[in-house]
């Protein structure tokens, strides 16, 4: 439809009607959730509180956007949490989830293929699963340890298609969880101040990459002619989940990660043959040590990666950092 046709269809009265209708539908969807704050909700709060790990929140599409916000709210109110993209989890990021963690998986239909693909592996690792869906009989709801019903009677979209009321309901239910958790943890106004402007958030915004990166022997590096097996041994010793390939001047030429190793096994590559340069990722993602740590977080989340190399203006390796380093430094 061209702009002139769109303009000819516009009606101020219709726009006002739909705007008010949208707010009424979404308000009703959130209000209906009150009747579902039951034992399952309390059990979900208790499970997260008892966890010795972190709350990992995941979802695809619009549910993924809501999941990111829930993770951010949790992290800023006393519950250690972060977002994991379910598609990336199938290609290496699943290693970020440990048996001590709790996975909160969002899917309105409860049939998201990307989430269902990782559920058996998550449960096999020993992690617990809380699902938030709009269909209590869905596969994701059935497989979860605890299910939270975020179903809505209808979407606000006139065609009942675009996620509108359903995403609003999921977001509100996530906020309800966060508030219940912060109260149970005894999260005080002082704690809030320390993690927001005027407190430690201000300090976090002044934290640079050089302040949190690993350097020296903590960052394993090998030359491009190093055998693949020897490079893997170096990567294991480093404990960073990666090995950097550098030239004689120290310039970063490439990177090889735990995820690359898993994919190599899946492809049945012969790791006894060839050098690391043949399987490395060339031109790896990197950041300057003088950049803010929060910029590193933004880059890793945007690119769906778990680690960044730190290089100087000549491209020479000076360090590396991953999400765990940023968590430890309380940048996230």
pLDDT in tens, 64-90: 999 999 999 998 888 999 898 988 876
- Give 120: exposed, middle or buried? Use CB within 10 Å, 0-12, 13-18, 19+: exposed
Q: In this structure, are residues 91 and 138 in contact, taking their beta carbons and an 8 Å threshold? A: no
Structure tokens given for 139: 């596969």
What pLDDT, on the 0 to 100 scale, is given for residue 183?
92
Tokens 């990336």 locate to 88
With a cut of 80, say whether residue 7 has pLDDT above it: no
Helix (H) or strand (E) holding 58: strand 55-59
What pLDDT, on the 0 to 100 scale, is given for residue 100?
92
Phi and psi based region of residue 147 (left: phi greater than 0; alpha: psi -120 to 50; beta: remaining): beta
What pLDDT, on the 0 to 100 scale, is given for residue 88?
81
Average pLDDT for residues 309-326, to the nearest whole number? 93
Structure tokens given for 25: 């539908």
Average pLDDT for residues 270-288, to the nearest whole number? 87
Structure tokens given for 171: 């977001």
What pLDDT, on the 0 to 100 scale, is given for residue 122?
86
Q: In this structure, are residues 148 and 36 in contact, taking their beta carbons and an 8 Å threshold? A: yes
Residues 6 or more apart from 22 whose CB is under 8 A from it?
156, 164
With a cut of 60, say whether residue 193 has pLDDT above it: no
* Distance separating alpha carbons of residues 95 and 243, to the nearest angstrom: 17
* Distance separating alpha carbons of residues 113 and 320, to the nearest angstrom: 33
With a cut of 90, say whether residue 320 has pLDDT above it: yes
* Distance separating alpha carbons of residues 46 and 54, to the nearest angstrom: 14
Residue 306: closest CA among 126, 84, 65: 84
Average pLDDT for residues 121-150, to the nearest whole number? 94
**Mean of the per-residue pLDDT values for the chain?**
88
With a cut of 90, say whether residue 219 has pLDDT above it: yes
Tokens 């497989």 locate to 143
Structure tokens given for 72: 């951010």
* Distance separating alpha carbons of residues 112 and 45, to the nearest angstrom: 24
* Distance separating alpha carbons of residues 194 and 216, to the nearest angstrom: 32
SS3 98: coil
Strand order in the sheet with 242-246: 221-222, 242-246, 252-257, 281-282
pLDDT per residue as tens digits for the range 245-258: 999 999 999 999 88
Task: Give the rounded percent of residues in the chain with a pLDDT score beyond 70.
Answer: 91
pTM score: 0.57
Structure tokens given for 93: 């990021």
Average pLDDT for residues 284-312, to the nearest whole number? 92
List residues bridging with 58 in a β-sheet: 105
Q: In this structure, are residues 102 and 126 in contact, taking their beta carbons and an 8 Å threshold? A: no
With a cut of 50, say whether residue 142 has pLDDT above it: yes
């Amino acid at each position: 439809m061209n702009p002139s046709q769109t303009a000819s269809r516009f009606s101020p009265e219709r726009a006002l009607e739909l705007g008010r209708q949208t707010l009424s539908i979404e308000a009703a969807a959130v209000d209906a959730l009150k009747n579902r704050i039951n034992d399952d909700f309390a059990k979900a709060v208790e499970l997260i509180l008892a966890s010795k790990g972190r709350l990992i929140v995941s979802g695809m599409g619009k549910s993924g956007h809501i999941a990111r916000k829930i993770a951010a709210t949790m992290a800023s109110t006393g519950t250690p949490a972060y977002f994991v993209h379910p598609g990336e989890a199938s290609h290496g990021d699943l290693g970020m989830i440990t048996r001590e963690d709790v996975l909160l998986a969002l899917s309105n239909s409860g049939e998201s293929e990307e989430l269902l693909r990782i559920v058996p592996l998550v449960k096999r690792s020993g992690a617990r699963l809380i699902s938030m869906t709009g269909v209590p009989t869905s596969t994701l709801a059935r497989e979860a340890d605890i299910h939270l019903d975020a179903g809505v009677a209808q979407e606000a979209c006139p065609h009942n298609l675009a996620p509108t009321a359903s995403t609003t309901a999921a977001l509100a239910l996530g906020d309800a969880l966060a508030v219940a958790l912060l109260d149970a943890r005894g999260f005080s106004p002082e704690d809030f101040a320390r993690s927001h402007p005027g407190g430690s958030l201000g300090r976090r915004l002044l934290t640079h990459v050089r302040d949190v990166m690993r350097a020296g022997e903590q960052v394993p590096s090998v030359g491009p002619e190093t055998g693949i097996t020897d490079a893997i041994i170096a990567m294991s010793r480093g404990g960073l989940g990666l090995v950097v390939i550098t030239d004689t001047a120290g310039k970063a030429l490439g990177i090889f990660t735990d995820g690359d190793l898993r994919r190599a096994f899946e492809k049945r590559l012969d790791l006894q043959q060839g050098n690391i340069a043949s399987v490395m990722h060339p031109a790896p993602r990197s950041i300057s040590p003088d950049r803010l740590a929060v910029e590193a977080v933004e880059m890793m989340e945007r690119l769906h990666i778990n680690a960044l190399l730190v290089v100087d203006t000549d491209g020479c390796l000076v360090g590396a950092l991953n999400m765990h380093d940023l968590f430890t430094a309380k940048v996230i």
